[in-house]
């Protein structure tokens, strides 16, 4: 059996629970809840495109209604709703559940972690999917890659950062594990609703914020009020997530299972490429309209302090559960091996072709 086939094709293990499979001719109607609003391109496109593909491939017999956050009003309740069966599917990000279950933290992206192709290689050929299945088994939920943003930018800053001391007391909107790293370095880390970010930055309520990258940042307008755009270190390959209620999945006939798996997989890859295109185009527009944007990389001293804070925090996290330890160590080992290839291939090629 070929490698890819084993990974993507429905395996007997997955469908072992089926006793009375529905006939493929039966109509199946599912609902999916997303964390995102109905206009948040490209995040919302991943589940919408996935649902369209499922419907067309099943000749209209398997339909999935996509409910955006404005409809179900529980943007960060997706895991619970899929677990409880109110929704057969969800679309969100695994690291949102870290407060509930630390084992789910590493499946989105990690500071100083893998790039997008490295991380997909880890998921599909390096044991990542098996570990994600293990981490989510306790919830009766299946988890799959749901679309990648590529490398995220380090954020918009009103002032230049030259030393670690410049970070002290800085008020910054930065969520997730990166927020914990920044807090350890003395920043005052806050979370602010997206709709209030521009005003908060403009009025000085915050001094800095990170969002995603040019493709999604441009419509927020931050480049008009914060001249320093720092390159990324904290989310090198943010992967969104499809969640599927395991019992619902087991009830599907085998062809619908494969249609669903394939539609999720291709929509995830596509979002990575769609966002790559969006960022390339938006960055070009930003530079034309605001040629004074200053692209900066944090100085070595600052980066080293972030790396140390991150490493210390990771050691603490590994003590919290044997599963999260196993996942983080698997990622670290894979990254170490894959990064040598990334350096020799794309990195050295780009060095001579910028």
Q: Could you tell me which residues are annotated as the binding site for Na(+)?
A: 211
> CB-side exposure of 84: number of CA atoms within 13 Å?
7
- The SS3 assignment for 64 reads strand
Q: At what angle do helices 322-342 and 300-318 cross, to 10 degrees?
A: 140
Question: Of 83 and 234, which CB lies nearer to a second copy in the complex structure?
Answer: 234
The answer to whether residue 333 forms part of the interface with a second copy (CB under 8 A) is no
Binding pattern for the stretch 220-259 against a second copy, x by CB under 8 A and - elsewhere: -----------xxx--x----------------xxx--xx
The answer to whether residue 290 forms part of the interface with a second copy (CB under 8 A) is no
Closest CA to 67 of 54, 56, 51, 84: 51
Nearest distance, CB of residue 265 and a second copy, angstroms: 5
For residue 133, what are the contacts with CB-CB under 8 A and spacing of at least 6? 142, 143
Is the distance from CB of 214 to CB of 289 less than 8 angstroms?
no
Beta strands in 233-337 (DSSP E): 239-245, 294-296
Candidates 6-14, 65-73, 169-177, 310-318; binding stretch for a second copy (CB under 8 A): 6-14
Nearest distance, CB of residue 22 and a second copy, angstroms: 12
Cα–Cα distances (Å) from 17 to 87, 134, 242, 251, in that order, read 20, 17, 21, 8
Subset of residues 115 to 134 that bind a second copy, contact rule: CB under 8 A = 115-118, 120-121, 124-126
Question: Of 78 and 271, which CB lies nearer to a second copy in the complex structure?
Answer: 271
The residue behind tokens 């964390």 is 35
* Residues 95, 102: Cα–Cα separation, whole Å: 9
Question: Of 77 and 146, which CB lies nearer to a second copy in the complex structure?
Answer: 146
Subset of residues 71 to 110 that bind a second copy, contact rule: CB under 8 A = none
Question: Of 37 and 117, which CB lies nearer to a second copy in the complex structure?
Answer: 117
Q: Which of 36, 42, 132, 187 binds a second copy (CB under 8 A)?
A: 42
Subset of residues 13 to 32 that bind a second copy, contact rule: CB under 8 A = 24
The answer to whether residue 41 forms part of the interface with a second copy (CB under 8 A) is yes
Find the helix or strand (DSSP H, E) in which 23 lies. none
Nearest distance, CB of residue 322 and a second copy, angstroms: 26
The answer to whether residue 155 forms part of the interface with a second copy (CB under 8 A) is no
Annotated binding site: 152, 173, 210-211, 235
């Amino acid at each position: 059996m070929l490698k890819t086939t084993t990974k993507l094709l429905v395996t007997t293990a997955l469908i072992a629970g089926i006793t009375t499979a529905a006939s493929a001719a039966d109509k199946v109607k599912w609902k999916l809840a997303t964390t995102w609003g109905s206009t948040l391109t490209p995040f919302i496109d991943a589940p919408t495109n996935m649902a369209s593909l499922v419907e067309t491939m099943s000749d209209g017999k398997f339909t999935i209604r996509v409910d955006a956050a404005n409809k179900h009003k529980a943007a960060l309740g997706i895991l619970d709703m899929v677990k409880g069966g109110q929704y057969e599917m969800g679309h969100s990000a695994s690291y949102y559940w870290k407060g509930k279950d630390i084992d789910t933290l590493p499946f989105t992206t990690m500071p100083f972690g893998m790039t997008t192709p490295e991380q997909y290689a880890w998921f599909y050929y390096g044991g990542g999917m098996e570990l994600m299945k293990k981490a989510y088994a306790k919830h009766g939920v299946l988890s799959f890659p749901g679309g990648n943003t590529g490398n995220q930018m380090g954020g918009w800053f009103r002032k230049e950062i030259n030393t670690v001391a410049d970070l002290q007391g800085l008020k910054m909107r930065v969520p997730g594990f990166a927020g914990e790293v920044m807090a350890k370095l003395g920043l005052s880390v806050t979370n602010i609703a997206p709709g209030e970010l521009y005003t908060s930055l403009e009025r000085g309520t915050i001094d800095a914020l990170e969002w995603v990258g040019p493709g999604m940042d441009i419509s927020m307008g931050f480049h008009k009020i914060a001249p320093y755009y720092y390159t990324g270190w904290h989310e090198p390959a943010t992967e969104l997530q499809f969640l599927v209620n395991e019992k619902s999945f087991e009830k599907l006939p085998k062809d619908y299972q494969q249609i669903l798996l394939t539609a999720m997989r291709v929509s995830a890859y596509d979002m990575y490429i769609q966002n790559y295109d969006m960022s390339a185009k938006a960055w070009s527009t930003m530079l034309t309209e605001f040629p004074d944007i200053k692209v900066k990389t944090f100085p070595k001293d600052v980066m080293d302090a972030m790396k140390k804070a991150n490493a210390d925090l990771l050691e603490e996290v590994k003590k919290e559960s044997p599963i999260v330890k196993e996942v983080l160590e698997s990622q670290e080992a894979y990254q170490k091996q894959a990064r040598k290839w990334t350096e020799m291939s794309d990195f050295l090629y780009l060095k001579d072709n910028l």
